[in-house]
């Protein structure tokens, strides 16, 4: 994967994708982009990315295609639809889905890709908008090691903690474990901040103590200050977190695993969506505790 020679296609320029694609362009790769709303691509196009009008058009021109879209249904359409990647990419193309999606769908995409001489990796990420902006994302990868090694230079311009977890679908299973850990943790962070306020403490001062102790976590230290400032702008949408938790719950149930912490968090976030807050950042859960 050499900058200046490798043509990278990037599909999905949302909160995360915009920064991730920007790092690839800044690293010197030739970049073609597509997103449903062209306006989202104007900034990166102005910096030298090539706009493609269709997924099929992008797919036919690129050596590596990266996707980070919204929901599993979007992933399925982008890869398996009539105008999708696998019907238009050339043999030898490498496709990397970085959406948080279904492990089963990742396996299906890999199987269909191989039938067409295309290589596939599932590589969801963690780190939110801050990790995407700073190129410090954790990248969890499922697929063949030879392909992983080949595209590692691309992963390295987007993230820092990059781990091949195993066979196709393993990246998505790892991301489910990540989301399960975050889910119950977010409830705890909200309860802690609400408790600090209710007891008359300055929650910012409280964070200085507990954020550096055993209670410290990425959510507490990065989203806690946003909660206190009542900044509920999305680094990661509630609606997308609900999607992730539902995938995790379904996968857990299939394996016969009980997840009471996940179930509680999912029920609270679904209540937020019912109240009209699905486009808030996940830190918006604090509203339920006020």
Q: Kindly report, residue by residue over 92-104, the tens digit of the pLDDT.
A: 999 999 999 999 9
Task: Assess whether pLDDT exceeds 90 at residue 3.
Answer: no
Chain center to CA of 107: 18
Q: 């990246």: which residue's tokens?
A: 171
* 178 & 136 share domain: no
Question: End of a domain among 167, 191, 207?
Answer: 167
2 part of a folded domain: no
Question: What's the number of CA atoms in the CB half-sphere (13 Å) around residue 266?
Answer: 17
* 179 & 163 share domain: no
**What pLDDT is stored for residue 235 in this prediction?**
84
* 12 & 149 share domain: yes
Spatial distance between the Cα atoms of 221 and 95, rounded to a whole number of angstroms: 34
**In 3D, which of 142, 88, 141 has the Cα closest to residue 116?**
88
* 120 & 198 share domain: no
Question: End of a domain among 137, 167, 197?
Answer: 167
Cross-strand bridge partners of residue 9: 32, 65
* 20 & 144 share domain: yes
Task: Assess whether pLDDT exceeds 80 at residue 4.
Answer: no
* 145 & 279 share domain: no
Please tell me the pTM assigned to this model. 0.91
Expressed as residue numbers, the domain containing 41 is 7-167
Sequence-distant (6+) residues with CB within 8 A of 222 are 128, 130
Question: End of a domain among 167, 192, 212?
Answer: 167
191 part of a folded domain: yes
* 115 & 242 share domain: no
Spatial distance between the Cα atoms of 122 and 98, rounded to a whole number of angstroms: 6
Average pLDDT over residues 243-260: 95
**What pLDDT is stored for residue 1 in this prediction?**
73
- Written as one string, the DSSP assignment of 220-285 is IIIIHHHHHTT----SSBHHHHHHHHHHHHHHHHHTT---HHHHHHHHHHHHHHHTT-TTSBGGGG
CATH of the domain at 134: 3.40.50.720
Rg (Cα) of the chain, in Å, rounded? 19
Q: Which residues are catalytic?
A: 175
* 140 & 241 share domain: no
Q: Is 6 helix (H, G, I), strand (E, B) or coil?
A: coil
Spatial distance between the Cα atoms of 257 and 125, rounded to a whole number of angstroms: 24
Task: Assess whether pLDDT exceeds 80 at residue 254.
Answer: yes
Total structural domains in the chain? 2
CATH of the domain at 228: 1.10.1040.10
Encode pLDDT of 192-238 as tens digits: 999 999 999 999 999 999 999 999 999 999 999 999 999 999 988 99
* 133 & 17 share domain: yes
Structure tokens that stand for 127 in this block: 């780190």
Encode pLDDT of 24-67 as tens digits: 999 999 999 999 888 888 999 999 999 999 999 999 999 999 99
Encode pLDDT of 152-197 as tens digits: 999 999 999 999 999 999 999 999 999 999 999 999 999 999 999 9
* 147 & 219 share domain: no
Say if CB 48 and CB 36 are below 8 A apart: no
1 part of a folded domain: no
Confidence of residue 2 (pLDDT cuts 50, 70, 90): confident
């Amino acid at each position: 994967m050499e900058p200046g020679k490798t043509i990278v296609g990037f599909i999905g320029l949302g909160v995360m994708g915009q920064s991730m694609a920007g790092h690839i362009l800044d690293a010197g790769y030739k970049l073609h982009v597509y997103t449903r709303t062209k306006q989202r691509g104007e900034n990166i196009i102005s910096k030298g990315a090539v706009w493609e009008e269709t997924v099929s058009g992008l797919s036919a021109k690129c050596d590596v295609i990266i996707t980070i879209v919204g929901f599993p249904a979007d992933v399925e359409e982008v890869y398996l639809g009539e105008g999708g990647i696998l019907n238009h990419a050339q043999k030898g193309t490498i496709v990397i889905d970085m959406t948080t999606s279904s492990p089963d769908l990742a396996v299906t995409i890999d199987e269909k890709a191989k039938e067409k001489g295309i290589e596939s990796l599932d590589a969801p990420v963690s780190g939110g908008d801050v990790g995407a902006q700073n190129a410090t994302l954790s990248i969890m990868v499922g697929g063949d090691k030879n392909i992983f090694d080949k595209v590692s230079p691309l992963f390295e311009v987007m993230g820092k903690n990059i781990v091949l977890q195993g066979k196709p679908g393993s990246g998505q299973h790892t991301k489910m474990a990540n989301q399960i850990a975050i889910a119950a943790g977010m409830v705890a962070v909200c309860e802690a901040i609400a408790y600090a306020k209710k007891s008359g403490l300055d929650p910012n001062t409280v964070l200085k103590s507990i954020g550096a102790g055993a209670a410290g976590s990425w959510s507490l230290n990065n989203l806690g200050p946003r909660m206190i400032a009542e900044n509920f702008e999305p680094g990661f949408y509630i609606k997308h977190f609900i999607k992730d938790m539902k995938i995790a719950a379904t996968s857990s149930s299939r394996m016969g695993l009980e997840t009471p912490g996940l179930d509680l968090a999912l029920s609270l976030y679904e209540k937020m969506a019912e109240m009209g807050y699905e486009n808030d950042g996940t830190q918006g859960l604090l509203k339920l505790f006020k």
